[in-house]
Amino acid sequence: MNNMSYIDFLAKFGISSAHPGGFSLTKKILEPEEIEKHQRVLDVGCGTGKTSEYLAKQYKCQVSALDLHPLMLEKAKERFNKEQLDIELIQGDVQRLPFPDEQFDFIIAESVTAFTEISLTLREYFRVLKKGGVLLDLEMTSNSSLSEYEKKDIRRIYGITRVLTENEWIAALKDCGFKEITGMKRENIQAPDHPPLELTDFNIGSLSFEALKIWLDHLDMMKKYEQVLDYRVYRASKQGT
C-alpha cells in the first residue's frame, strides 16, 4: 500500500516550484504588482521557501511563510538561514490561518488552494487580507467539467476532491467577498508549461519504489489529461468599505 502522498514526495526530495509554470511563472505573476517595503506579504503553502526568498530579496517587504508539512518547513528554515533572511516561518493550516483579521497586503498561493476545502481556504484568505489587499492564486483548473471517472482518477494521485473550472473558481471567489477577479490563462502569461524542477535533496539512490511510482503516476496524469487539466492565475482584491 502506498502511504506516501504527492505532497510528501515533494517534501522528501525538496522539490521547489513544482506548480505549473515553475518559478519563472512566479516572477511573472509578481512583476506587475507594486509591492512596497512596508507591506506584509503572506506566502501560503510556502514549501521549501523559494517564493518567500524571492519576495524578501526583490521587494524588501515583510514576508510571512506558512506551510503545514514539517519537512517543508525544515527545508524553508535552512534556506532562510543560509540566505540570512528575516522571514517569519509558521506551521499552520491554510483552512484555519493563525493570524488576526486584516494583516496582509498580499497573499500568494501557488497550487495550494485546490488541495484544501476550497471555500474554507478562500474565506480565510479574505479574512486576513487588509482592505485593498490582493490575492494572487495559481491553481489547477479544468477546461471542462470532469466525468466521475476523471474525478476519481485525479483524486487517486493528488488527493484533490474537486477540480474547478475557471467559472467555478471565479464564483467561489465572489462568494467569499472578493472583487475585481481575473483569471489569467497560460497563453496570456507566456510562462513555460513544464519548466525544470529545482531539487534540493534529490539523489537517485534515495528514490524508493514508492516515490518513483508517485512521480511516474504524476507524469502519466499530466500526459493523460493534458487537454483537460490546465491552470489559471486568479487575481482578486478585498475592497475597502
Condensed to tens digits (0 to 9), the pLDDT of residues 120-149 reads 999 999 999 999 999 999 998 999 888 888
Q: How many CB atoms lie within 10 A of CB 33?
A: 16
Model pLDDT, residue 205: 46
* Residue ranges in the chain whose pLDDT is less than 70: 1-21, 187, 189-215, 218, 241
Model pLDDT, residue 19: 53
pTM score above 0.95: no
Model pLDDT, residue 208: 60
Model pLDDT, residue 197: 46
What is the DSSP track for 161-209?
Answer: S---BHHHHHHHHHHTT-EEEEEE-HHHHT--SSPPPEESS--GGG--H
Alpha-helical runs (H) found in the chain: 6-12, 22-30, 50-59, 70-83, 118-128, 148-158, 166-175, 186-189, 209-224
Model pLDDT, residue 1: 38
> CATH number for the 6-236 domain, one of 3.40.50.150, 3.10.50.40, 3.40.50.720, 1.10.260.40?
3.40.50.150
User: What phi and psi, each to the nearest 5 degrees, are found at residue 189?
Assistant: -100, -30
Model pLDDT, residue 212: 61
Which three-class secondary structure state does DSSP give residue 236?
strand
Condensed to tens digits (0 to 9), the pLDDT of residues 5-18 reads 656 655 555 555 45
User: What phi and psi, each to the nearest 5 degrees, are found at residue 195?
Assistant: -70, 160
- Distance of alpha carbon 130 from its chain centroid, rounded? 20
Domain residue ranges of the chain, discontinuous segments joined by +? 6-236
User: Is the distance from CB of 75 to CB of 49 less than 8 angstroms?
Assistant: yes
